[in-house]
Amino acid sequence: MTALDASVELLDRSLSYTRVALASVSDADLGRPTPCTGWDLARLLAHMEDSLDAFDEGASGQVRLERSVRAGVRVRALQEKACRLLGTWSAEPPTRTRIGPHLVDTSVLVLAAALEITVHGWDVASSLGLSHPVPDDLAARLLPAASALVSADDRGTRFAPERPPPSTSGDSARLLGFLGRQLTGPPRHDMRNRDTGPRAAS
């Protein structure tokens, strides 16, 4: 398996994880606060849609840096773009992608997509008060990417300061803590019994 193949596999898992949280979003939720400081759920969803557009664009070999919707419309667009994104990267993308003046290996770009999609999926679930933890085995594979992609310069701008979890915590808590997420008390709803079949993941 190539580095790109492994990255696309992680992307597939991150999209599957996040689609479950997105299935619970309604118009009434758009004003909810999120773990992203100063962002409500509407702004987070808009950011996620922009990110999916950029990552999809990256499969063409270049990402351009320039760049009130109802919840149902926004979520449907995110779900459709998520499916298209996986299909695009599962084809034959170039080995390197230009982001502004920089050339990066496409496997790195796909890892960045998997990381962003996963953590924002958790953000959505957290905003809704849902119990939808990042699976520890997915988090374990994303931790090295997070360590490589998030630098000290990103703290205070793109990410909050690292919040080291207790030493007994699993990889999910370590990943979220590294990305500056605050793990708080029990959520109001539990998603473990939700239908996660084709309807929820479409």
Q: CA 148 from chain center: how many Å? A: 16
Q: What is the pLDDT of residue 124?
A: 92
Bridge partner list, 155:
159
- Write down the pLDDT at residue 107: 82
Per-residue pLDDT, 140: 95
Q: What is the Cα–Cα distance from 102 to 62, expressed in whole angstroms?
A: 10
**Total tally of structural domains belonging to the chain:** 1
Give CA 163 to chain center in angstroms. 19
Structure-token match 């597939």, residue found:
12
User: What is the per-residue pLDDT for 177?
Assistant: 92
What's the predicted TM-score (pTM) here?
Answer: 0.73
Provide the CATH number for the domain around residue 47.
1.20.120.450
Q: Find the domain containing 149 and state its range.
A: 3-201
202 residues of the chain, pLDDT tens digit each:
687 778 888 888 998 999 889 889 999 999 999 988 888 999 998 888 888 777 776 665 655 544 445 556 566 766 676 666 667 666 676 778 777 777 888 788 888 889 988 999 999 999 999 989 999 999 999 999 999 888 888 887 778 889 888 878 899 999 999 998 987 643 444 443 333 332 222 2
H/E segment holding residue 97: strand 96-99
Tokens 């990256």 sit on residue: 58
